[in-house]
C-alpha cells in the first residue's frame, strides 16, 4: 500500500495542490465513519481526470487510510483512461479501482456495478460521479443524472450518500488536470435519498436527488466567493 503516501506526495509536492480547511473535512469524514457502520457511498462533482484522488486526499491523510483501509474509497474510473492494458488493470485493482467502460455493453456495466455494490456491502466506501462524465459546462448538471448511481443506492438498503463538492479557485470548466498549485475548497453533506418508484425510474429519481444536493452545494460555493 505504498502507493497511498506516494499519491499524496505527488498531489502535494509535485503538483503543488492544497485543500482549504482540510483538517475540518477529515474530522467530519472520520466522525461519519465512526458513527455509521456499514456501506457508504460518496458522490462528488466531476471536472478532471483525477477528481477521485483529490476527493480521497481531502477526506483522509495517508497514515489514517493505512490504519483504516476500508475508508479509502473504491471508485469506477473509465477503463480506457486507466486500465487499457493487463498491467494497468492489475495496478488499478490494487488501488481500489473497478474500471468501467462508459457507454459499454449493459452486461459489462452491470457486472462492474455488481462488483462495486458487493465491496460496499462488506462495509467499504465507494466513490462515484453521478453525472454522466465530466461536466462540459463546469457546473453540476442535474439533468445528466446517471441511473447506475441510483441503482447502487437502491441495492444497498439504508446506505447513506456523502455528497462531496470540491472545486479549485481556477476551475471554470472541465480539464484533464487542475492547474499546478491549485487550491481547493471542499464541502460535505450527508443525505439519505429514497424513492417511491422502482426500477429505472426509481434509480433515476435517486440520482437526481444526489445531483440536486451537489447543485445546491455548488450554489453555496459561488455565493460565498
Distance CA 168, CA 186 (A): 9
The sign of the torsion formed by the CA atoms of 212, 213, 218, 220 equals positive
Q: Residue 132 has what pLDDT?
A: 74
Q: Residue 115 has what pLDDT?
A: 93
Query: CA angle, corner 59, sides to 68 and 158, nearest 5?
Result: 75
Q: Residue 123 has what pLDDT?
A: 93
Q: Residue 98 has what pLDDT?
A: 87
CATH topology of domain 3-224: Glycerol-3-phosphate (1)-acyltransferase (3.40.1130)
Q: Residue 101 has what pLDDT?
A: 75
Dihedral in degrees, nearest 10, Cα atoms 163, 166, 172, 176: -100
User: Taking Cα atoms as reference points, which of 192, 187, 225 lies closest to residue 55?
Assistant: 187
Q: Residue 91 has what pLDDT?
A: 64
Q: Residue 108 has what pLDDT?
A: 83
Give a three-class secondary structure readout of the chain: CCHHHHHHHHHHHHCCCEECCHHHHHHHHHHHHHHCCCCEEEEECCCCCCHHHHHHHHHCCHHHHHHCHHHCCEECCEHHHHCCCHHHHHHHHHCCECCECCCCCHHHHHHHHHHHHHHHHCCCEEEECCECCCCCCCCCCHHHECHHHHHHHHHCCCCCEEEEEEEECCCCCCCCCCCCCCEEEEEEEEECCCCCCCHHHHHHHHHHHHHHHHHHHHHHHHHHC
Q: Residue 80 has what pLDDT?
A: 67
Residue ranges for the chain with pLDDT beneath 50: none
Q: Residue 221 has what pLDDT?
A: 96
* Cell representation of residue 82: 486507466
Q: Residue 92 has what pLDDT?
A: 66
Distance CA 114, CA 68 (A): 24
pTM of the model: 0.92
User: Taking Cα atoms as reference points, which of 133, 129, 130, 164 lies closest to residue 146?
Assistant: 130
Question: Domain residues of the chain, as ranges?
Answer: 3-224
Q: Residue 85 has what pLDDT?
A: 63
Q: Residue 109 has what pLDDT?
A: 82
Q: Residue 88 has what pLDDT?
A: 63
Amino acid at each position: 500500500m505504498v502507493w497511498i503516501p506516494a499519491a499524496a506526495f505527488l498531489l502535494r509536492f509535485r503538483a503543488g495542490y492544497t485543500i482549504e480547511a482540510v483538517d475540518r473535512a477529515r474530522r467530519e469524514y472520520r466522525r461519519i465513519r465512526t458513527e455509521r457502520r456499514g456501506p457508504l457511498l460518496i458522490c462528488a462533482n466531476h471536472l478532471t481526470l483525477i477528481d477521485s484522488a483529490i476527493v480521497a486526499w481531502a477526506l483522509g491523510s495517508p497514515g489514517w487510510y493505512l490504519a483504516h483501509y476500508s475508508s479509502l474509497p473504491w471508485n469506477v474510473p473509465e477503463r480506457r483512461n486507466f486500465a487499457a492494458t493487463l498491467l494497468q488493470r492489475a495496478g488499478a485493482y490494487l488501488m481500489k479501482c473497478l474500471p468501467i467502460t462508459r457507454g459499454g455493453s449493459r452486461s459489462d456495466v452491470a457486472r462492474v456495478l455488481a462488483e462495486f455494490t458487493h465491496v460496499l456491502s462488506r462495509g467499504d466506501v465507494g466513490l462515484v460521479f453521478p453525472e454522466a462524465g465530466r461536466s462540459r459546462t463546469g457546473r453540476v448538471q442535474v439533468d445528466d443524472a446517471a441511473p447506475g448511481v441510483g441503482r447502487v443506492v437502491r441495492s444497498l438498503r439504508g446506505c447513506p450518500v456523502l455528497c462531496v463538492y470540491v472545486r479549485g479557485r481556477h476551475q471554470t470548466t472541465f480539464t484533464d488536470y487542475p492547474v499546478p498549485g491549485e487550491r481547493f475548497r471542499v464541502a460535505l453533506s450527508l443525505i439519505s435519498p429514497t424513492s417511491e418508484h422502482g426500477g429505472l425510474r426509481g434509480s433515476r429519481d435517486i440520482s437526481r436527488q444526489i445531483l440536486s444536493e451537489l447543485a445546491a452545494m455548488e450554489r453555496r460555493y459561488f455565493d460565498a466567493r
